[in-house]
Amino acid sequence: MALGDDLFGVHEKALALRSQRLGLLASNIANASTPGFKAKDIDFASALSAAEQPGASMSQAIEAATKYRVPLQPSLDGNTVELNTEQTKFAENAVAYQSTLSFLNGRIQTLTRALKGE
């Protein structure tokens, strides 16, 4: 087990996954008008669980947990992006990303104070 795993636990991997998910959701939003574009999303819980397995890589966990989104109302041009859904998922993930980042920042500050002997 690496030193970072001991210090930050699951939060390091969660932050990386949330970052990848933000990029994927942003891509969906950017392609909302692209004919034939298929929206994808990462099942965060599944990806995190897979990433926590011994010997698993983050890229393998993300790839296994990335799925195409099924639209509620398919468009005639084959695009499966539903802008409201994507924007909501993006906002929820951004809040979770910020929360994880804040937790890690607090942890780093605590460790810094401990090393300084405060």
- For residue 107, the model assigns a pLDDT of 86
Contacts 24+ apart (CB under 8 A), 91-99: 93/18, 93/21, 93/22, 93/25, 93/44, 94/22, 96/18, 97/15, 97/18, 97/19, 97/22
- For residue 38, the model assigns a pLDDT of 97
Tokens found for residue 75: 């468009």
- For residue 5, the model assigns a pLDDT of 54
- For residue 1, the model assigns a pLDDT of 41
**pLDDT digit of tens for each residue in the chain (118 aa)?**
444 456 777 888 999 999 999 999 999 999 999 999 999 999 999 999 999 999 889 999 999 999 999 999 889 999 999 999 999 999 999 999 999 999 999 888 888 888 887 6
CA dist 52 and 14 (Å) reads 10
Round the CA-based radius of gyration of the chain to a whole number and report it: 18
Can you give the pTM of this predicted structure? 0.85
